[in-house]
Amino acid sequence: MARQLQEQLAERFPAGKRLRVLDVGLGQGARALRLARAGHRVTVLERDRTAVLRARRALAAEPEEVRARLRIVEGDGRDTGVHFPPGAFDVVLCHGVLMHVEEPEPLLAALARMLAPGGLLSLLVCNGDALALRPGLRGDWAAALSALGATARLPRPRTAPGRTAPARPEADALPETDARADRLADLRATLAGIGAPLRAWYGVRVFTDTAAHDAGPPEDLEVLLAAEELAGRTDPYRAVAALLHLCGVRG
């Protein structure tokens, strides 16, 4: 995921440009810190008070120049207009948030308005086109049959016995509770409608989603990551990934 995002930033913006980044949904804060350490000015929008306090404690341990580049604002992504003027950011990240929003269109429209012309909107969502695959691989036929219907609800993940996986970065982890999933065609249409048409998309967690959540990294971790990276860019494998990383560009 980090490599895919870096690739898009390098393609869209001049080398060395200090970007204005809005990160909606803090997670553990690693993504925002990484960008601030790289020299970008990062604003995080987070509504969970506990997450905000945790992030501020972590930020306090950073060098002064990093602290000066990262700002944390308490608020909801749907209310961006309350906090920021239109076109205020070069990049807007919304990773692992859409799956917890029942109606994604208002949130996406609000985020698109924050983008300057040519700005990048980066989304990480649950893949609604592949909901039956994981329960099918586990042998949970009832769940697979249900997922083959019109549902867009992600079932609670269950561990397959005997599997191992690398430790999961925060942005790549599936939620531990029921969540909503999105279909690629629907998001493509939505992004076009809000003026940030889809320019690139990737699959995330093509092979490793059914592995045990509490296992340590395997000895051949680098090979596994290389296989995931390539599969996430290659048809038909990327279409059945557990997560989708979509990149839209403001016209």
Q: How far apart are the C-alpha atoms of 89 and 120, rounded to whole Å? A: 9
> Tokens 């690139």 appear where?
200
Amino acid at 55: A
Q: What is the pLDDT of residue 11?
A: 94
Contacts 24+ apart (CB under 8 A), 74-77: 74/46, 74/47, 74/49, 75/45, 75/46, 75/47, 76/45, 76/47, 77/24, 77/25, 77/45, 77/107, 77/110, 77/111
Q: What is the pLDDT of residue 158?
A: 44
In DSSP terms, which residues pair with 41 in a beta bridge? 20
Measured CA to CA in angstroms, residue 170 lies from 1, 2, 25, 50 at distances of: 10, 11, 11, 17
CATH T-level topology, domain 2-249: Rossmann fold (3.40.50)
Cis peptide before 106 (omega within 30 of 0): no
Q: What is the pLDDT of residue 218?
A: 81
Q: What is the pLDDT of residue 171?
A: 43
3-state SS, residue 150: coil
Give every residue of the chain whose pLDDT is below 70, as ranges.
1, 149-178, 212-215
Q: What is the pLDDT of residue 30?
A: 87
Backbone angles phi, psi at 71, to 5 degrees: -120, 135
